Copies of this chain bind each other. A is one copy, B any other.
Amino acid sequence: MTTRAELTEKIVAHKTYHGKKWVDVAAAVGQSKEWTTAALLGQLSLSKEQIAAASGALDLEFSEEEIALLMTPPYRGSLPTAVPTDPLIYRFYEITNVFGSTIKALIEEEFGDGIMSAIDFTMDIERSKDPKGDRVKVTLDGKFLPYKMY
């Protein structure tokens, strides 16, 4: 039996070998590059039509079993350890760990007691040109949900 993790590895290996781009797959699927990449890496579920579009853009046939896996809402979590060891991903953990209390303080000052949704949420990853070295700009945009009184 294929597991979802093995299917993710297969998609990534195929993509690397054939020089496909996430942005092109996303255009075919009709969603943002962030949503499409997350879905194909096993963090979101796709519809049959989206799977067909991705299949075309990647030039990769999926079996019935693989289509079933891509359609099923996955058990989410893309990291093998609670504290990530990959340096790129760790930097985001570090920001949460070091600046987490700051983020909390400023959101609460502006909005009152509540959270930023990680579900009704979009993410945008861009390159911004800079003469001292280009910069990564990650924008997280989530609905504020106040704690409910009852």
Question: Could you tell me which A residues sit within 8 Å of B by CB distance?
Answer: 1, 3, 6, 9-10, 12-14, 16-17, 21-23, 31-35, 37-38, 41, 43-45, 64-65, 67-69, 71-73, 75-111, 113-123, 125, 127-128, 130, 132-150
Contacts and interface: CB of A to CB of B under 8 A. Distances in A.
B102 A41 contact: yes
Contact of A13 (B31, B65, B121, B143): B65
A95 B43 CA distance: 11
Given A43-B99, A92-B116, 18 more contacts: A13-B69, A16-B71, A34-B102, A37-B102, A38-B102, A78-B101, A79-B97, A79-B101, A81-B82, A88-B103, A89-B96, A91-B118, A94-B118, A111-B134, A116-B138, A128-B141, A130-B143, A133-B145
